[in-house]
């Protein structure tokens, strides 16, 4: 028999109750110790059952809310106009959700390049460079329109969430999830309203992906999914 399994628990902590029970077996003290241990074990079981029931109630309240929130976070674009225009020397300023303003400035630049292209005496290389600048800006405009439409669709869905489900979210959601949502809101504001920075940090890292991971991981923690 492996006596260490009797005197030590699975974490290697000495079980003094086992020694007392063996020493006092068959005595009044032994029965008292036995009853106390049984009562403590039952109390632990009751506490576990209560916590499990509370977790189940919380899951029922939050499953739909959290699923909707994750869907909304996934709807937001991983880029803003700065990501699209990162290689453009005379990059237009983007802020206050001004996607169309950026495209109007690109239109002005395109018209200027077209005027220059009509000038006589241009070398072949200069003509090709001007054509490339025009094509690039036409491409940028299309990409910005895609981002714009994706952003406003996500924003509209988020507004519906705030109207219909935010009160229940505030009531039942865990603090880590609330904190993650605040971080998400700050990022959206900085990227699309203040126009502080692009969303791509590098080829392998993106700010929107990072904040989505934080939000989803906090939700898994809150629902007890990371403990199974």
In Å, how far are 32, 86, 103, 150, 194 from 153, measured between CA atoms?
67, 24, 19, 5, 19
pTM confidence score: 0.76
Distances (CA, A) of 179 to 103, 192, 219: 35, 20, 11
Residue 36 placed within a domain: yes
Pair 108, 207: CB distance under 8 Å: no
Give the chain's domain count: 1
pLDDT in tens, 96-128: 999 999 999 999 999 999 999 999 999 999 999
Q: Name the H helices within the chain.
A: 4-7, 16-23, 28-75, 81-84, 99-117, 124-164, 166-172, 175-188, 207-222
Assigned domain for 181 exists: no
| 30 part of a folded domain | yes
Contact 151, 76 (CB under 8 A): yes
Domain presence at residue 225: no
Q: In this structure, is residue 198 part of a structural domain?
A: no
From 174, 217, 196, select the one nearest 70 (Cα to Cα).
217
- pLDDT tens, position by position, for the chain (228 residues)? 555 555 455 665 555 555 555 555 556 655 665 566 666 666 565 665 556 566 666 778 899 999 999 999 999 999 999 999 999 988 999 999 999 999 999 999 999 999 999 999 999 999 999 999 999 999 999 999 999 999 999 999 999 999 999 999 999 999 999 999 999 999 999 999 999 999 999 999 999 999 999 999 999 999 887 754
Q: Which residue has the tokens 């699923």?
A: 67
Q: How many CB atoms lie under 10 A from the CB of residue 191?
A: 25
Q: What is the mean pLDDT of the chain?
A: 86
Question: Running DSSP on this structure, what letter comes out for residue 8?
Answer: B
Residue 115, in any domain of the structure: no
Angle at CA of residue 137, ends 133 and 142, nearest 5°: 155
> Does 15 map to a domain?
yes
- Domain annotation covers residue 118: no
- Please give the residue range of the domain that contains residue 34: 4-47
User: What is the signed CA dihedral for 162, 168, 171, 172, rounded to 10 degrees?
Assistant: -120
């Amino acid at each position: 028999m492996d006596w260490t399994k009797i005197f030590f628990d699975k974490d290697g902590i000495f079980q003094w109750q086992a020694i007392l029970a063996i020493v006092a077996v068959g005595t009044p003290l032994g029965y008292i110790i036995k009853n106390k241990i049984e009562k403590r074990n039952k109390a632990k079981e009751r506490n576990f059952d209560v916590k499990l029931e509370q977790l189940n109630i919380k899951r029922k309240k939050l499953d739909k809310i959290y699923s909707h929130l994750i869907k909304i976070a996934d709807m937001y674009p991983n880029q803003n106009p700065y990501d699209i225009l990162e290689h453009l020397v005379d990059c237009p300023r983007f802020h206050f959700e001004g996607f169309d303003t950026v495209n109007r400035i690109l239109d002005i630049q395109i018209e200027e390049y077209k005027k220059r292209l009509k000038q006589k005496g241009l070398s072949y290389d200069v003509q090709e460079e001007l054509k490339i600048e025009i094509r690039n800006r036409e491409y940028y405009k299309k990409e910005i329109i895609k981002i714009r439409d994706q952003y406003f669709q996500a924003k509209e869905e988020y507004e519906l969430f705030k109207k219909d489900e935010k009160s229940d979210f505030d009531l039942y959601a865990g603090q880590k999830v609330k904190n993650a949502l605040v971080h998400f809101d700050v990022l959206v504001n900085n990227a699309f309203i203040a126009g502080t920075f692009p969303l791509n940090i590098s080829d392998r890292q993106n700010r929107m992906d990072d904040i989505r991971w934080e939000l989803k991981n906090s939700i898994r923690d809150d629902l007890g999914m990371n403990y199974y």
